[in-house]
Structure 1
Amino acid sequence: MSTQSLELVPGMLTTRAEVATAYGGSRFSGIEVSKKTNMIFIYSDPEAGEEYGYTFDGLAEPDEQGPLYLYTGEGKEDQELTKGNASLHRAREDGRPIHLFVADGVVVNEATGRKTGTKQQRYLGQMMLDEVQPFEMRRAVGPSGERHVIVFRFRPDSAARYPAVFQARDGVRAASKTEQVTLEVEPTSVMEARFAASVQVETEAHHTNETVAKITGGLSTVVRREGELTTAYKDFLVERGHTVKRFQITVAGVAGALMTDLYDVTDNVLYEAKGAARRTDVRLAIGQLLDYRRHIETPPGLRLAVLLPSEPGDDLRDLLQRENIALVTRTADGFAGFPVGI
């Protein structure tokens, strides 16, 4: 079969064997790199992946940049940016288009009408990794116990010949129970993907203040103020001897996981960071903190705090005070406000 006889059109049903025959690559890994065509084929199977703790896969709630599809990387132990994961992470740099498939039923024998053991693959479309945050680290539980997994963040590729096509059932599955996991904030860059053998994982490291992302309206500069602010404040606390973590929260009946920003274990403070001090940002931070607090267990006396890059207006400061939420802002010399005490 030649590539011309298997045109990849979003919504079509095919099999891994047909794709491999036409475009190259093997038929067994979730991440298949074809040397024949320089393409990467991603196969998502949320139902089968659940056995290995792959509970994050699927279409997440869209954000300001549009649709977002999550995909757990490969590796039965703590996952690193090696092998298929590394190829996927370097796809843009290497000029390799990414094609995403999801398992959708099994092939039926046309002669007998009986189901075979071959899974059908529904083609969702050509993807690209999110340019602002290509992946994040999560904690998952599989047959070998707790481990760290890489959850890639896909966006439909605007350069694709056909637009991506998603169906309602492609969404991330709802959690069966509510669970809280404390995640370590390690000083080593997450991009090096070296993790300790425990349930603790790193937050995303933000080494650049801005990047270019393709969003509605064309190429725009996306300033990574929030991520850079979070990293800077984490370093500020760690330098002063504080233990800093974050929470991963799964809520029964809700798809996906909630990820907090910073939790200062030493002072028992939960922070929500925002990249601007506008009213919309402050109000969103308040709502997120109140939502997180319902689902986490900490020692008595937990304080909530908003972390901002600059001072908000007097009315917003009053709003935070009325809600008993502390405020920390960045200054030329570091950070100021409760509970920093500077």
Structure 2
Amino acid sequence: MTAWLLTCNPDVFDLDSFRRDGGQLDNWSVARYRSELAEGDGFVLWLTGPRGGLIARGRITGVPFLSDDAHNADYWQQDPGRRWYVPLTVNDWLDVPVPRGQFIADQRFTDTTTLRTLFAGNPHRLTEGQWDAFDEAFTKVSAAPDERTTWHLEPGHTIRRVELHDRYGGSRQGGICKSARTDNVLVFTDPKTGHQHGYFDEWAEDGSFHYTGDGQEGPQTFETLGNRSIRDHVQLGLRLRLFEGSRGVVRYVGEFAVDPALPYSYAQAPETGGGPLRRVIRFHLVPVGSTEQPSTVPVGCGYRPADETVQPAPAQLGTPDAGLTERNLQTHRRLQNDLATAAAARGLDVLSPRATDPDFDLAWRSSGHRLTVCEVKSLREANETRQLRTGVGQLLDYHDRLRERAAEVRAVLWVEYEPSEARWIELCQRVGITLAWPGKEDDALT
């Protein structure tokens, strides 16, 4: 088999940034042996410089072609001008280059100038033995797990964002960062910076975290790498890692996955800087395993009023109970906002859940540092019992998950009207939950 070595000078082509940004290498500049390069030839890619070495391997997929346009132009340090390129495909990338020192003592390289003339133009011809040596290096690296890229963060851990990308790859900017070096998609949620771009991430009534897709202007589409990476992460074998914050120190929330039943929906949100409304993608993310946070992680952030014009999800439209679903959602959010207004009027610090919190509807803190967590339920005669059961169960879960993160936790179930069965009031009292409804604000907000 004919095999070649291609070199990359990082002072000429920024390969590291190209990979961090999720670039797919499909050609490379060549200056000689053009008549000998052929489809099916093997190649290895060598990164030059003091921190360089063997970095990738693959196959050539066609004959060289001449082009006046720079391929992957954003990553050339200067315009390369008219060049010959050979089409190729990369089969394997290494997270860290295998250095030159590992090969120069190998007998298969001592009788040639291959590793001593890397400054010469591409490509460099390889002997069969040298190809085998590079193949052995790939086998050795793949057989030994690299501790530097093994996931080491637990929910609640903090890390400087620059250190996170140094270890796991991915772009250092933006909210959705697919790594070219590891099987991770790093996803960042931050209301402090996101709201100005129309990114309103939040927990939804069904327990999924609704995360706004990539794209600050115009309708969002799946043409962007970030949006495709989230939508297709299961098929691509990628893990979604959600972080709270976008700059400086960020906090790991946990691993998430798109909801297989309803992976995303569409909504309206303003463009960057309060521009016109446009269509945005809302990914429905569900936790994978535990996202429990340590006791040092604060609970809640400033209250975000719920949108009372909410519409049923696309999967629910056209169903016989679509109107009832819309009514329940709107009633739920009106009840929630009204209670938040009443709590704020009493001087309470009203909160919405962070991504690091369980998905309660709202909460508030009193002057004594007591945290009250509240679940809101709309009621109809046909669903009253089911709604009350669900609310009690949710509050018991929230209380258990938050009791290590607050000095005192109180639970309130706020419902649309007084339940038809008085036993629910006594039942809630027995398990430590205050059951209240409009007109009983004193009971809920004491």
Structure 2-normalised TM-score? Answer: 0.38
Q: Which has the higher strand share?
A: 1
- Structure number with bigger Rg: 2
Structure 1-normalised TM-score? Answer: 0.48
Q: Which has the higher contact order (CA 8 A, sep 6+)?
A: 1
